[in-house]
Amino acid sequence: MKQADFDRLREYIYRESGIYFEDNKLYYVEKRVQQQMEKYKFADLATYLGALKFDSTGRMRQELLNQLTVNETYFFREYDQLKCLAEEVIPLWAEDGLESKGLKIWCAGCSSGEEAYTIAIVMQEMLPGFPWEIHATDINTEVLTRGARGIYNYYAVRQVPEAYLKRYFVRVGESYAVSAELKQKVKFYQLNLVDETAMRNMRGFHAIFCRNVLIYFDDISRRRVALHFYRALEPGGYIFLGHSESMSRISTVFKPVRFQNAIIYKKEKGHEEWPESAQPGSAFPRQER
């Protein structure tokens, strides 16, 4: 793949998903694009890209995004943050009486569902009998199907405590199926984090988990997503990012809170709307030549 071809394809992917592939990802992108071109029998990239842009069904676009956004995950990943949720954040919600009113948690970029179900286990253990729900979203339709199915191999569940494995999973041959009780608490659906219309409909969340997702976005897309997260959160709500990520590098409107087990970010009470001065830009990040 020539650099000029990669640039055109990269711009298309960026506009459709917010994901920006650096030059060092050329081979990664090229390999997956070749698979799609072979499937649909396109002889050259220009023809394929044209077909992508004018495919009214959106099928080829979705298949390409599925190929480019497959990420490995597993249950109880980044345990310290889960401990923070269980032992520090949930008690704060209880002090405010929120547990009886119903709690909403959004798992953004949920992949195949391991994180969403892990959070569900934590919620069920800490707040049995109280109303809560988890919204699990991703741009990749294939992983969402796997998540809704809720069947995992041993590698995915290897860090699940034995008591939870017995309580929330059913052994099916060599696999582990999430219990029906847990599955009904998690709603899986497709969502593009840079889709302005769809993101504006996400409201009323008390916590958002978006761990190791924004690292694939450029600065402008990160700020756009942060804006929507801000609007989606209830005042006093929290954002959990990956341990190597920092919301402070994206925007200063969220307050970093140092808990005993983790640092997470808070939308302070009394703040409803994102300050106009913090509105993100809209230019595509073209590289200097």
Residue 97: predicted pLDDT: 85
Q: How many CB atoms lie within 10 A of CB 161?
A: 11
288 within domain boundaries: no
Average pLDDT of the residues in 102-118: 96
**SS3 state of residue 163:** helix
pTM comes to: 0.88
Average pLDDT of the residues in 94-110: 91
Nearest to 149 by CA among 109, 108, 107, 186: 186
Q: Indicate the range of 194-198, 238-242, 266-270 predicted with least confidence.
A: 266-270
DSSP string computed for 242-281? -TT--GGGT-SSSEEEE-SS-EEEE--TT--S--GGG---
Phi, psi at residue 256, to the nearest 5°?
-70, 135
The answer on pLDDT for 286 being more than 50 is no
The answer on pLDDT for 76 being more than 70 is yes
The answer on pLDDT for 280 being more than 80 is no
Residue 157: predicted pLDDT: 97
Residue 6 near residue 26 (C-beta atoms within 8 A): yes
Provide the CA 258 distance to its chain's centre, in angstroms: 23
Residue 187 CB burial class (10 angstroms; 0-12, 13-18, ≥19): middle
> Do residues 131 and 154 share a domain?
yes
Residue 209: predicted pLDDT: 97
- Confidence bin at 273 (pLDDT 50/70/90): low
- The token duo for 241 is 């990012």
> Do residues 258 and 145 share a domain?
yes
Instruction: Rank 65-74, 214-223, 277-286 by mean pLDDT and report only the highest.
Output: 214-223
24 within domain boundaries: yes
For residue 50, give the amino acid letter: G
Average pLDDT of the residues in 106-116: 96
> Do residues 128 and 52 share a domain?
no
Residue 19 near residue 69 (C-beta atoms within 8 A): yes
CATH code, domain with 138: 3.40.50.150
Residue 270: predicted pLDDT: 64
285 within domain boundaries: no
Residue 283: predicted pLDDT: 42
Residue 269: predicted pLDDT: 76
Domain boundary among 68, 94, 112: 68
Task: Specify the DSSP element, H or E, that contains 112.
Answer: none
Provide Rg for the chain, Cα atoms: 20
Average pLDDT of the residues in 97-105: 88
Task: Specify the DSSP element, H or E, that contains 189.
Answer: strand 186-190
Nearest to 266 by CA among 92, 48, 27, 141: 92
261 within domain boundaries: yes
Angle of CA points 30, 210, 154, to nearest 5°: 75
> Do residues 129 and 92 share a domain?
yes
283 within domain boundaries: no
Q: In the predicted model, what is the mean pLDDT of the chain?
A: 90
Q: How far is residue 197's CA from residue 52's CA, in Å, rounded to a whole number?
A: 22
Residue 37 to residues 21, 34, 120, 164, Cα–Cα distance (Å): 19, 5, 39, 44
Average pLDDT of the residues in 10-22: 91
- Confidence bin at 141 (pLDDT 50/70/90): very high
CATH code, domain with 21: 1.10.155
Residue 282: predicted pLDDT: 44
> Do residues 64 and 107 share a domain?
no
- The token duo for 32 is 């997956």
Range of the domain at 196: 79-278
Residues 244, 249, 250, 252: is their CA dihedral positive or negative? positive
Residue 243 to residues 71, 194, 262, Cα–Cα distance (Å): 17, 23, 8
Residue 189: predicted pLDDT: 97
73 within domain boundaries: no
pLDDT tens column, 27-64? 999 999 999 999 999 988 989 999 998 888 989 999 99
Residue 275: predicted pLDDT: 53
287 within domain boundaries: no
- Confidence bin at 274 (pLDDT 50/70/90): low
Residues in the chain: 289
Into how many domains does the chain fold? 2
Domain boundary among 24, 45, 68: 68
Packed helices 26-40 and 45-54: angle between N→C axes, nearest 10 degrees: 80
The answer on pLDDT for 285 being more than 50 is no
The answer on pLDDT for 168 being more than 60 is yes
> Do residues 19 and 126 share a domain?
no
> Do residues 150 and 62 share a domain?
no
Residue 279: predicted pLDDT: 52
